[in-house]
Structure 1
Amino acid sequence: MTPTPNVLRQHAEHAYAHELTALAQHDTHPRPPKWNLSPRAVVTYLMGGTLGDGTVITPKYVGDQRLMEVAVATLATDRALLLIGVPGTAKSWVSEHLAAAISGDSTLLVQGTAGTSEEAIRYGWNYARLLADGPSEAALVESPVMHAMREGKIARLEELTRVPSDVQDTLITVLSEKTLPVPELRTEVQATRGFNMIATANNRDKGVNELSSALKRRFNTVVLPTPATLDEEVSIVTQRVQQLGRALGLPDVPPAHEQVRRVITVFRELRGGATLDGKTTLKSPSGTLSTAEAISVMNQSLTLAAHFGDGTPTAHDLAASLTGAVIKDPAQDPVIWREYLETAMKKRAGWGDFYSACREVG
């Protein structure tokens, strides 16, 4: 697929095309059939590094490299990959970059919802041609999964556990037999070498459907944890905020490390139910307060500063963005937030301006 200029967000294979090209040129390791890169090079693409010619590969995932090695190794076998984690642990991000690095195409995607039908995973029909000529190859409408099977690429299925259980089981034959029957044409589509699937799932949201034991056996599962340390999470948020700022055309400003650290500290304390020093117990609000939401808070703060300030986010910009992220339930969350301000934030040295701004917004 040709990249479209001026789109808000490029697909990974286009946004990082120069890195993928450089990796392919320097990749001397064995590549599985139809893979654009070797498993070792795919992990380098995900974790970052510097090539022999000085090309810098930016990290796409900040965390345990072994998890990425297991994920990539899985896709080189006949087992599909299931990425599980709470919301905001980069499941979709990792899935997209894996498909981009392996197949050069991250767009073969099925978005799982409660309304996802079998046709979205198997195939559909062009009903005008179906009525005119009856069932035929010309009337068949390929799903992303069927297309990936024909072309030997990676298919992606987002939010697998939101898909109804009977539709989930449509995948069993695809993943075990590597075939997709088309009984209307008395034929089948057999997967070519290079085909595999990456699914994502979380068990924190409502509307989750458990996977059948038969389907679970077709996947190797990799659990993506929340960032282990404050510094790790600060690094992730800082990197993504800078990338989003460039994509949105925001003015270049010095990295807001202190503001990011404040937001991540608040998120980690409210998520964990205690201050980072363990001295004060806290109540947790109804939201997940994920790393992805921290990125959104910082992005909004930078946008406020860019358009209504001098470009550098202030405590008031941060407070305005943060309060909306914490307070999701208007009944219980405001009480929890005010309690946090008085028992944790007010006592923290150097946070007086931030505390006052949050009180004012609240």
Structure 2
Amino acid sequence: MSQNHLSQWSHTLVLRAHCPTCFRCPPAPAKLTYMIALPVNLLNLLIAYSFKDVQQQKNTCRTVVSEDQSSGHLIYSIANKSDLTRKEREMWNISLQGLIHLGVIIIVDVLFHFMYILTIPTDIKLLKHLSDWALVGLAYVNLVYDWIKAAVMFGVINTVSTLDHLDPPKPPKCITMLYVFSETHFDRGINDWLCKYVYNYLGGKHENVVEELVATLCTYGVTILWLGPCEVVLFWAFFNCFGLNFELWTAKVFSMEPFASFEAAMSEAMSRRIRAIFNTFNFWCIVLYNLMALNSLDFVKLVTKRLLLKGFPITTVIVMFVTYCLIQVIKERERRQALIDDPDPLPPAPPLNAATPTCPPTAAPQAAADSSKEKAE
């Protein structure tokens, strides 16, 4: 590349970075993310395919950090591992994950030239001319894009870590699957650290209202310092802290009489329907609260006004009904996954010469039903 072309290319990048009103290009941080992730992912694929021909058993010297639970100190030990074997079809899965990340990067980069989801929310005058459906969809797509960006970045790093025989954290949970404040996290590593050393340490079993309030305040206080104190971060932390505590307050109220008796008399399906109604409003609270950190407070005010006031009743009812159906699907998927992860043990077969039982035979099915209902909740 000649010096003239190089200077022209760098000048184009500078213009794109200082072009906040141009609808043909996304903001510089988003573009920079994919410019960095694309070559890293290509290198990831090359490493994956080159490792297929390399001998998998090799002598390495690694530093293993193990925590002594009795004294609480870190013990550093050197371990020689010569049996670095891989599972069956593990390299195929690594290559497939790399191809998926590469495809997502290319698709998002192409869509940036047709869908201006990151630039439109900065123009309030343009937003006022959009319909209710377009505004609500724009708000939701902004969160989905932020999740895709986090999933790609963590996914590429996790794939490279897997190539080095490490066990990386799981990728961020999909934003569409979040309907309770206790699961709203993207970085699982930071979330696990906060839960271990701050939230669970101060909150205990998370049953006492005062302890829960202190734990959430300290947790979000550390998060504010980590993100950098500013107006948007303070609003975001306040509303998320309130939502987390409000969930506990609601659970405490409905565990009292007469609500506890009403729920005990309900079927499992009816109990899940009622919970899904409350989770529907919870879902949109999570969406609106997190939009503050991604866009601006004015954009969140406009979306809330259109969704709850100007769009009532048609837009509000339809959006809430679709969200309710979505949460029902999520709950059903979580119920099936819970049964797969922790299946109910089968009762032992009665002996052939056993005496007639004196207790009614409906006790075992009732216990199994209670167990399945508890898992569903």
Q: TM-score, normalised by structure 1?
A: 0.22
When Rg is computed on C-alpha atoms for both structures, the one with the higher figure is 2
Q: TM-score, normalised by structure 2?
A: 0.22
Q: Which is richer in strand?
A: 1
